[in-house]
């Protein structure tokens, strides 16, 4: 298994990203192609001990910045690292790619180069939301689409089900549809239509869920429009940071607290990690013909390492093949969708 | 100033709610009318020391439960505590009401009894989002409306501006429109239309903001549809609880952490309070002819106390009069809205 890793687009120095990739090659069956300035990469590689057969370097100096407009930049920068990564996957030289760059650029590059999976109307970005005891909720879509239609929300639910089953090994994962209340009468016109279809499908649909439910065992998969999901995900990130900054501020005030914090430093670290979803290996873009993992611009070595492992799992467990089969099994491909509209 | 307080609809025992109301009467100029079972209330009142002239009791045994469908329950229970509260305000016997009950019931009772402010298309529920140093962001709407139109989002922005100015004393508050990214090209058709109008108004519009910005000094007022706002608000609540449960779990594991936590117990308490937006006195419903404050079902004495104070401030600072004037000044009343549609 070969994972292409975009070393140029992240905000962290090359060696941070390279370290993550090299660590991943220590896993059986994982090789990497590092994309970036080859002279710099070769230089940085010198400080690591690794299996040289498992690391290849592809040179480019071009990359898409965080503030560039994705569709425009993709056209103007054909040699940018994210496009090269996508092309390596398209041509079969790599099995998936990981990029810590501009989310829109990764999305656009993957979309253009890979195309949608058979039967899929729109791809989705899936985020791993931490909850108790090393378990997660798959929240999708968190930003690939704005203004989703019922077919999109329904397909997100099915793709999320297959993801939780095949990648996490959860049997009959609980699927919830995010809304402003749990009663069937709640929601928008789009969510109400989607609800009607979801309850007819053979998946474990628990109905509407509220924002707080994504942190509980009430669901394994939480479905929403990319506009809502993006705002929610960034809101969660924001409050997590705020709580830790409150701690810092308060601890500074009292000597007792300072001593307490010192004794608790391990606990603080653990919790920061638990809350920081960056730890969980970025966000897979699902619904396209090849896998792509979107990492944070500020991705650490650990995040890159985890993102590569998530990519490997997606390939190993044949997520895409399973999604295509499940959509057909449930009869919710884009080709058959018209059959469902009579239930609205 | 007289505030009607619904003692029956909350989840906490009557004396918890009564204590909050009695505490508020210690403020100059605040009197309360307590609505609930008069025998129970009179009995509970015996344990408090208070100015008897400032506390009145109105009897009813009927209330709307948390799981009842608001519109139906409002029709079937004309003697329910929340309706009596709204009627006391409507008739002028009270200036505002506070209810810790079913949100939809408070909303419906207030809407039916008070009617909309002149020029307002839809009311909004405004939540106080805590951020550093005892400051807040006003997030609206968090659930009064689903599927808002541009006129609604624009009016929420103006109402939020007036709220931050008059109730918090912020000059030229920064207004942001929640979206999936900060570029003008982002957002839904509705947010993009709203954006076009907002940037033409004389308010301090900072453009699109992301979920994380609501916890920063980037904005004082964050505007969104009630569907998005509700999911975001409940998501924030959820992660806050999750972080504290992570702490509990981790602290239990290590003796050092236990000692540390003991030394830090004051800090934990402070931060819990800071994060718990319940502390900030519920969510005002704005845009109606009279004020109503929606508190949590689980409202504590402190929350009821704060909610009453927020209600008093809204009345004192003539929020409603200012909103009507500002909408007219900006020419964004519902009567004049057609003038703006050419900018879409």
Q: CB distance from B230 to chain A under 8 Å? A: yes
Closest CB to A264 among B69, B261, B275: B261
Q: CB distance from A131 to chain B under 8 Å? A: yes
Do the Cβ atoms of A211 and B232 come within 8 Å? Answer: yes
Residues of A in contact with B224 (CB under 8 A): 231
Closest CB to A250 among B226, B242, B271: B271
Pairing between β-strand A283-286 and β-strand A205-209 as defined by DSSP bridges? unpaired
Give the count of alpha carbons within 13 A of A305, CB side only.
14
**A203: Cβ contacts below 8 Å, ≥ 6 apart:** A157, A158, A161, A172, A175, A330
Q: CB distance from A214 to chain B under 8 Å? A: yes
Q: CB distance from A173 to chain B under 8 Å? A: no
What whole-number distance in Å separates Cα of residue A89 and Cα of residue A36?
A: 16
3-state secondary structure B142-209: CCCCCCCCHHHHHHHHHHHHHHHHHCCCCCCCCEEEECCCCCCCCCCHHHHHHHHHHCCCCCCEEEEE
The distance between the two most distant Cα atoms of chain B, rounded to a whole number of Å, is 67
Q: Across-strand partners of A292?
A: A97, A285
Best residue in B229, B260, B270 for a mutation probing chain A (most A CBs within 10 Å): B260
Taking CA atoms, what residue in A is nearest to B211?
Answer: A235
Percentage of chain B beyond pLDDT 70 is 98
The distance of B239 to chain A (nearest Cα, Å) reads 7
Do the Cβ atoms of A267 and B259 come within 8 Å? Answer: no
Do the Cβ atoms of A237 and B178 come within 8 Å? Answer: no
Taking CA atoms, what residue in B is nearest to A133?
Answer: B246
pLDDT tens by residue, chain A, 344 residues: 999 999 999 889 999 999 999 999 999 999 999 999 999 999 999 999 999 999 999 999 999 998 888 989 999 999 999 999 999 999 999 999 999 989 999 999 999 999 999 999 999 999 999 887 778 999 999 999 998 999 999 999 999 999 999 999 999 999 999 999 888 889 999 999 999 999 999 999 999 999 999 999 999 999 999 999 999 999 988 888 888 888 888 788 887 778 888 888 887 787 777 776 656 778 999 999 999 999 988 888 999 999 999 999 999 999 999 999 999 999 999 999 999 988 88
Q: Across-strand partners of B33?
A: B4, B56
Taking CA atoms, what residue in B is nearest to A132?
Answer: B246
**What are the Cα distances from residue A332, in Å, to A121, A145, A219, A221?**
10, 19, 22, 18
What whole-number distance in Å separates Cα of residue A46 and Cα of residue A55?
A: 12
pLDDT at B204 over 60: yes
Residues within 8 A of A (CB atoms), B 43-82 only: 69
Average pLDDT over every residue of B239-265: 81
Do the Cβ atoms of B243 and A246 come within 8 Å? Answer: no
pLDDT, residue B279, reads 61
Residues within 8 A of A (CB atoms), B 263-322 only: 263-264, 266-267, 270-271, 274-275
Q: CB distance from B219 to chain A under 8 Å? A: no
Do the Cβ atoms of B256 and A266 come within 8 Å? Answer: yes
In the three-class reduction of DSSP (H, G, I as helix; E, B as strand; rest coil), residue A61 is classed as: coil
**What are the Cα distances from residue A218, in Å, to A173, A212, B150?**
10, 10, 35
Extract the tokens encoding A92: 């079969």
pLDDT, residue B41, reads 96
pLDDT, residue B131, reads 84
pLDDT at B136 over 80: yes
Q: Which of A146-160, A278-292, B204-218, B219-233 is the least confident region? A: A278-292
CA angle B143, B148, B153 (to 5 degrees): 95
Give pLDDT tens digits for B271-317.
777 776 656 678 999 999 999 999 988 888 999 999 999 999 999 99
Pairing between β-strand A55-59 and β-strand A31-36 as defined by DSSP bridges? parallel
Closest CB to B260 among A231, A241, A264: A264
ipTM above 0.95, yes or no: no
pLDDT, residue A243, reads 82
Residues of B in contact with A179 (CB under 8 A): 227, 231
**What are the Cα distances from residue B173, in Å, to A279, B176, B179, B217?**
36, 10, 19, 10
pLDDT, residue A253, reads 81
Per DSSP, the residues of B12-25 read S-HHHHHHHHHHHH
DSSP H or E segment with residue A199: none
Do the Cβ atoms of A275 and B216 come within 8 Å? Answer: no
Average pLDDT over every residue of B46-68: 94
Count chain A–chain B contacts defined by CB atoms under 8 A: 193
Best residue in B246, B256, B258, B261 for a mutation probing chain A (most A CBs within 10 Å): B246
Do the Cβ atoms of A247 and B257 come within 8 Å? Answer: no
Closest CB to A250 among B243, B259, B270: B270
Residues of B in contact with A72 (CB under 8 A): none
Q: CB distance from B102 to chain A under 8 Å? A: no
């Amino acid at each position: 298994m070969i994972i292409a890793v975009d070393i140029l687009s992240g905000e962290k120095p090359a060696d941070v990203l390279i370290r993550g990739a090299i660590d991943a090659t220590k896993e059986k069956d994982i090789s990497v192609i590092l994309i970036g300035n080859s002279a710099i990469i070769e230089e940085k590689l010198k400080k690591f001990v690794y299996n040289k057969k498992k690391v290849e370097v592809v040179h480019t100096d071009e990359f898409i910045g965080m503030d560039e407009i994705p569709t425009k930049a993709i056209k103007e920068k054909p040699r940018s690292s994210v496009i090269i990564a996508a092309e390596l996957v398209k041509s079969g030289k790599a099995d998936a790619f990981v990029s810590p760059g501009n989310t829109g650029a990764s999305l656009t590059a993957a979309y253009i180069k890979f195309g949608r999976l058979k039967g899929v109307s729109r791809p989705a970005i899936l985020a791993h939301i931490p909850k108790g005891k090393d378990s997660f909720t798959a929240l999708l879509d968190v930003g690939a689409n704005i203004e989703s239609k019922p077919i999109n929300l329904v397909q997100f639910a099915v793709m999320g089900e297959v993801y939780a089953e095949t990648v996490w090994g959860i049997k009959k994962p609980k699927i919830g549809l995010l809304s402003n209340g749990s009663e069937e009468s709640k929601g928008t016109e789009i969510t109400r239509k989607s609800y009607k279809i979801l309850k007819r499908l053979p998946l474990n649909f628990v109905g509407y869920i509220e924002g707080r439910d994504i942190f509980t065992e009430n669901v394994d998969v939480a479905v929403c429009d990319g506009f809502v999901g993006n705002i929610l995900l960034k809101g969660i990130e924001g409050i997590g940071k705020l709580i830790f900054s409150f701690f810092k501020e308060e601890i500074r005030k009292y000597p007792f607290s300072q001593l307490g914090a010192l004794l608790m430093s391990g606990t603080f670290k653990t919790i920061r990690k638990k809350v920081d979803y960056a730890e969980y290996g970025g966000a897979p873009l699902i619904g396209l013909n090849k896998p792509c993992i979107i990492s944070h611009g500020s991705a650490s070595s650990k995040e890159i390492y985890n993102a590569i492992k998530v990519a490997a799992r997606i390939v190993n467990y044949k997520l895409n093949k399973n999604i295509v089969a499940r959509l057909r099994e449930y009869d919710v491909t884009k080709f058959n969708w018209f059959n469902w509209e009579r239930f609205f």
